[in-house]
Chain A
Amino acid sequence: MAEARISNQIRTLRFLAGEMTQAELGAKIGVTRQTIAAIEQGKYSPTLEAAFRIAAALGKSLDEVFKWEGCGR
Protein backbone atom coordinates (compact mmCIF):
# COMPACT_ATOMS: atom_id res chain seq x y z
CA MET A 1 0.00 0.00 0.00
CA ALA A 2 1.21 3.53 -0.72
CA GLU A 3 2.72 5.18 2.34
CA ALA A 4 0.41 7.66 4.01
CA ARG A 5 2.23 10.83 5.08
CA ILE A 6 -0.87 12.75 6.09
CA SER A 7 -3.10 11.28 8.78
CA ASN A 8 -6.63 12.46 9.40
CA GLN A 9 -9.49 12.31 11.87
CA ILE A 10 -12.28 12.27 9.29
CA ARG A 11 -13.87 9.04 10.49
CA THR A 12 -14.04 10.27 14.10
CA LEU A 13 -15.24 13.72 13.11
CA ARG A 14 -17.92 12.27 10.84
CA PHE A 15 -19.21 10.28 13.79
CA LEU A 16 -19.21 13.37 15.98
CA ALA A 17 -20.99 15.36 13.28
CA GLY A 18 -24.23 13.42 13.67
CA GLU A 19 -22.88 10.16 12.25
CA MET A 20 -22.47 11.68 8.83
CA THR A 21 -21.93 8.98 6.17
CA GLN A 22 -19.05 8.91 3.70
CA ALA A 23 -21.54 9.48 0.89
CA GLU A 24 -23.01 12.55 2.63
CA LEU A 25 -19.56 14.06 3.21
CA GLY A 26 -18.56 13.26 -0.37
CA ALA A 27 -21.69 14.94 -1.72
CA LYS A 28 -20.96 18.06 0.34
CA ILE A 29 -17.47 18.50 -1.07
CA GLY A 30 -17.96 17.11 -4.57
CA VAL A 31 -16.16 13.75 -4.45
CA THR A 32 -17.39 10.16 -4.45
CA ARG A 33 -17.97 8.00 -1.40
CA GLN A 34 -15.04 5.84 -2.53
CA THR A 35 -12.70 8.83 -2.50
CA ILE A 36 -13.72 9.72 1.07
CA ALA A 37 -13.05 6.09 2.03
CA ALA A 38 -9.63 6.23 0.33
CA ILE A 39 -8.76 9.45 2.17
CA GLU A 40 -9.79 7.94 5.51
CA GLN A 41 -7.65 4.86 4.84
CA GLY A 42 -4.63 6.96 3.85
CA LYS A 43 -4.76 5.70 0.27
CA TYR A 44 -5.24 9.16 -1.20
CA SER A 45 -4.10 12.62 -0.14
CA PRO A 46 -6.73 15.19 -1.12
CA THR A 47 -5.87 18.44 -2.82
CA LEU A 48 -5.57 21.47 -0.59
CA GLU A 49 -8.94 22.73 -1.80
CA ALA A 50 -10.65 19.42 -1.03
CA ALA A 51 -8.98 19.32 2.39
CA PHE A 52 -10.37 22.77 3.21
CA ARG A 53 -13.80 21.70 1.97
CA ILE A 54 -13.73 18.59 4.17
CA ALA A 55 -12.72 20.64 7.21
CA ALA A 56 -15.48 23.16 6.50
CA ALA A 57 -18.07 20.42 6.03
CA LEU A 58 -17.08 18.94 9.39
CA GLY A 59 -17.06 22.35 11.05
CA LYS A 60 -13.38 22.13 12.01
CA SER A 61 -10.15 23.85 11.12
CA LEU A 62 -7.76 22.16 8.70
CA ASP A 63 -5.25 21.16 11.39
CA GLU A 64 -8.00 19.55 13.46
CA VAL A 65 -8.77 17.23 10.56
CA PHE A 66 -5.38 16.59 8.94
CA LYS A 67 -1.95 16.09 10.44
CA TRP A 68 1.36 16.03 8.61
CA GLU A 69 3.31 12.95 9.73
CA GLY A 70 6.76 13.99 8.55
CA CYS A 71 8.71 14.01 5.33
CA GLY A 72 9.62 10.30 5.04
CA ARG A 73 9.46 8.94 1.50
Chain B
Amino acid sequence: MAWLEKTAWVTLAAMLVAYSVYFTVISLTPLSTFSMLALFGAVMVIQVVVVIVVIAVLAALSSGEARAKPDERDRAIARRGASTAYYVLMAGVITVGVIMPFNRSGWSLVNAALFALVSAETVRQLVIVASYRRGWHG
Protein backbone atom coordinates (compact mmCIF):
# COMPACT_ATOMS: atom_id res chain seq x y z
CA MET B 1 0.00 0.00 0.00
CA ALA B 2 1.35 3.42 -0.96
CA TRP B 3 2.34 5.66 1.93
CA LEU B 4 -0.11 8.40 0.91
CA GLU B 5 -2.90 5.83 0.74
CA LYS B 6 -2.13 4.81 4.33
CA THR B 7 -2.27 8.43 5.52
CA ALA B 8 -5.52 8.95 3.60
CA TRP B 9 -7.11 5.95 5.35
CA VAL B 10 -5.99 7.22 8.77
CA THR B 11 -7.20 10.76 8.12
CA LEU B 12 -10.51 9.55 6.73
CA ALA B 13 -11.22 7.17 9.60
CA ALA B 14 -10.29 9.69 12.32
CA MET B 15 -12.33 12.43 10.70
CA LEU B 16 -15.43 10.29 10.18
CA VAL B 17 -15.40 9.07 13.78
CA ALA B 18 -14.66 12.48 15.31
CA TYR B 19 -17.20 14.50 13.36
CA SER B 20 -19.86 11.80 13.48
CA VAL B 21 -19.68 12.14 17.26
CA TYR B 22 -19.71 15.94 17.07
CA PHE B 23 -22.67 16.28 14.69
CA THR B 24 -24.65 13.56 16.47
CA VAL B 25 -24.22 15.26 19.84
CA ILE B 26 -25.12 18.74 18.62
CA SER B 27 -28.15 17.49 16.72
CA LEU B 28 -29.55 15.55 19.69
CA THR B 29 -28.61 17.82 22.60
CA PRO B 30 -29.14 21.58 22.92
CA LEU B 31 -25.78 22.99 24.04
CA SER B 32 -24.69 26.36 25.36
CA THR B 33 -22.12 28.35 23.41
CA PHE B 34 -19.38 27.36 25.86
CA SER B 35 -20.32 23.67 25.73
CA MET B 36 -20.37 23.68 21.94
CA LEU B 37 -16.99 25.39 21.77
CA ALA B 38 -15.58 22.90 24.27
CA LEU B 39 -17.00 19.97 22.33
CA PHE B 40 -15.69 21.27 19.02
CA GLY B 41 -12.25 21.97 20.51
CA ALA B 42 -12.06 18.54 22.12
CA VAL B 43 -13.15 16.73 18.96
CA MET B 44 -10.69 18.66 16.80
CA VAL B 45 -7.75 18.20 19.17
CA ILE B 46 -8.41 14.49 19.67
CA GLN B 47 -8.72 13.96 15.92
CA VAL B 48 -5.47 15.77 15.18
CA VAL B 49 -3.58 13.98 17.96
CA VAL B 50 -4.86 10.55 16.86
CA VAL B 51 -3.89 11.22 13.24
CA ILE B 52 -0.40 12.44 14.22
CA VAL B 53 0.25 9.52 16.57
CA VAL B 54 -0.99 6.84 14.15
CA ILE B 55 0.94 8.31 11.22
CA ALA B 56 4.07 8.59 13.38
CA VAL B 57 3.75 4.92 14.38
CA LEU B 58 3.20 3.90 10.75
CA ALA B 59 6.23 5.96 9.70
CA ALA B 60 8.35 4.30 12.37
CA LEU B 61 7.24 0.85 11.21
CA SER B 62 7.75 1.58 7.52
CA SER B 63 11.19 1.16 6.03
CA GLY B 64 11.78 4.74 4.91
CA GLU B 65 8.82 5.00 2.55
CA ALA B 66 7.35 7.77 4.70
CA ARG B 67 10.32 9.97 3.80
CA ALA B 68 9.99 9.37 0.07
CA LYS B 69 8.74 12.29 -1.97
CA PRO B 70 5.35 11.84 -3.65
CA ASP B 71 5.86 10.56 -7.20
CA GLU B 72 3.84 11.43 -10.30
CA ARG B 73 1.05 8.97 -9.48
CA ASP B 74 0.71 10.33 -5.93
CA ARG B 75 0.51 13.87 -7.29
CA ALA B 76 -2.06 12.94 -9.95
CA ILE B 77 -4.26 11.25 -7.37
CA ALA B 78 -3.91 14.18 -4.96
CA ARG B 79 -4.97 16.58 -7.73
CA ARG B 80 -8.00 14.43 -8.51
CA GLY B 81 -9.04 14.40 -4.86
CA ALA B 82 -8.65 18.15 -4.45
CA SER B 83 -10.48 19.04 -7.66
CA THR B 84 -13.42 16.80 -6.78
CA ALA B 85 -13.60 18.12 -3.23
CA TYR B 86 -13.59 21.69 -4.55
CA TYR B 87 -17.06 21.18 -6.04
CA VAL B 88 -18.38 19.73 -2.79
CA LEU B 89 -16.95 22.67 -0.85
CA MET B 90 -18.41 25.20 -3.31
CA ALA B 91 -21.85 23.56 -3.08
CA GLY B 92 -21.63 23.63 0.72
CA VAL B 93 -20.55 27.27 0.90
CA ILE B 94 -23.30 28.33 -1.51
CA THR B 95 -25.85 26.41 0.56
CA VAL B 96 -24.65 28.13 3.75
CA GLY B 97 -24.83 31.50 1.97
CA VAL B 98 -28.38 30.83 0.82
CA ILE B 99 -29.66 29.86 4.27
CA MET B 100 -27.74 32.63 6.04
CA PRO B 101 -30.34 35.41 5.58
CA PHE B 102 -33.08 33.18 7.01
CA ASN B 103 -31.23 32.03 10.10
CA ARG B 104 -30.48 34.04 13.21
CA SER B 105 -28.47 31.41 14.99
CA GLY B 106 -24.75 31.94 14.55
CA TRP B 107 -23.97 28.41 15.62
CA SER B 108 -26.27 26.93 12.98
CA LEU B 109 -24.28 28.72 10.33
CA VAL B 110 -20.96 27.77 11.88
CA ASN B 111 -22.00 24.14 12.03
CA ALA B 112 -23.36 24.20 8.50
CA ALA B 113 -20.06 25.65 7.26
CA LEU B 114 -18.15 23.06 9.30
CA PHE B 115 -20.29 20.31 7.79
CA ALA B 116 -19.44 21.61 4.32
CA LEU B 117 -15.72 21.54 5.17
CA VAL B 118 -15.89 18.05 6.65
CA SER B 119 -17.91 16.80 3.66
CA ALA B 120 -15.40 18.22 1.20
CA GLU B 121 -12.45 16.74 3.08
CA THR B 122 -14.23 13.38 3.35
CA VAL B 123 -14.82 13.35 -0.40
CA ARG B 124 -11.17 14.27 -1.00
CA GLN B 125 -9.89 11.39 1.11
CA LEU B 126 -12.45 8.96 -0.38
CA VAL B 127 -11.38 9.89 -3.91
CA ILE B 128 -7.72 9.42 -2.96
CA VAL B 129 -8.35 6.00 -1.41
CA ALA B 130 -10.58 4.90 -4.31
CA SER B 131 -8.01 6.07 -6.85
CA TYR B 132 -5.27 4.00 -5.22
CA ARG B 133 -7.55 0.95 -4.87
CA ARG B 134 -9.30 0.98 -8.22
CA GLY B 135 -6.66 2.73 -10.31
CA TRP B 136 -6.43 6.17 -11.84
CA HIS B 137 -4.80 7.02 -15.13
CA GLY B 138 -4.14 10.68 -14.42
A56 at the interface (CB under 8 A from B): no
For the residues of A in contact with B, the DSSP-based class is: loop
B73 in contact with A44 (CB, 8 Å): yes
Q: Report B67-121 residues with CB < 8 Å from chain A CB.
A: 68, 71-74, 76
B41 at the interface (CB under 8 A from A): no
Task: State the interface size on chain B (CB cutoff 8 A).
Answer: 16
Distance in angstroms between the alpha carbons of A44 and B134 in the assembled complex = 10
Q: How big is chain A's contact interface, by range?
A: 10 to 19
Pick the contact of B134: A2, A5, A31, A46 (CB < 8 A).
A2
Complex contact B2–A32 (CB within 8 A): yes
Residues of B within 8 A of A5 (CB): 137
B59 smallest CB distance to A (angstroms) = 15
In the complex, the chain A residue whose C-beta lies closest to that of B131 is A2
Residue among B65, B76, B136, B138 making CB contact with A32, cutoff 8 Å: B65
Q: Interface residues, chain B, CB within 8 Å of chain A?
A: 1-3, 5, 65, 68, 71-74, 76, 134-138
- 24 example contacts (A-B, Cβ-Cβ < 8 A) are as follows A1-B134, A1-B135, A4-B135, A5-B137, A30-B71, A31-B72, A31-B73, A32-B2, A32-B65, A34-B1, A34-B2, A34-B73, A35-B2, A35-B71, A35-B72, A35-B73, A38-B73, A41-B135, A43-B134, A43-B135, A43-B136, A44-B136, A44-B138, A47-B138
